[in-house]
């Protein structure tokens, strides 16, 4: 399969493609509440909360107001506290240890 360089597209098209990817990622994560944030952090160095923080940052960079709760609801599809109550499991000792190790790696970036 040939590699596709999205840099060849105009800025509007690239932005639309990137936005579509973001929407699909958020949809995928909403459909997989069994995938815990701590596991995402341990494996990939980001989680749903990171996505919501990045969304809030992007809004603020454009002079838009978005609260932390609003950005989290945009990613989680419901209030964060509701999602946590319905889906978040207590981290195991192994997950917590892996998280501490991953945080040390991420701090160096």
Contacts of 74 (CB under 8 A, 6+ apart): 26, 52, 55
4: phi then psi, degrees, rounded to nearest 5: -110, 125
Contact 71, 59 (CB under 8 A): yes
Band (pLDDT 50/70/90 cuts) for residue 94 is very high
What percent of the chain is modeled with pLDDT above 90? 83
Is the CATH code 1.10.3340.10 the one for domain 10-98?
yes
Reading phi first (left if > 0) and then psi (alpha if -120 to 50, else beta), residue 45 is in: left
Residue 4: is its pLDDT beyond 80?
A: no
| pLDDT at position 10 | 93
| Residue 65 predicted with pLDDT over 80 | yes
Return the percentage of the chain with pLDDT > 70, whole number.
94
CA 14, 15, 21 angle in degrees (round to 5)? Answer: 90
Q: Where are the domains of the chain?
A: 10-98
């Amino acid at each position: 399969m040939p590699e596709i360089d999205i840099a060849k597209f105009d800025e509007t098209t690239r932005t639309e493609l990137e936005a579509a990817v973001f929407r699909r990622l958020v949809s995928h994560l909403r459909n997989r509440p069994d995938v815990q944030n701590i596991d995402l952090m341990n494996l990939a160095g980001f989680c749903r909360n990171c996505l919501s923080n990045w969304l809030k940052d992007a809004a603020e960079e454009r002079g838009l107001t978005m609260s932390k709760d609003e950005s989290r609801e945009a990613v989680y599809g419901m209030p964060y506290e509701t999602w946590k109550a319905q889906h978040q499991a207590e981290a195991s000792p192994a997950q917590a240890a892996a998280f501490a190790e991953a945080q040390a790696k991420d701090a160096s970036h």
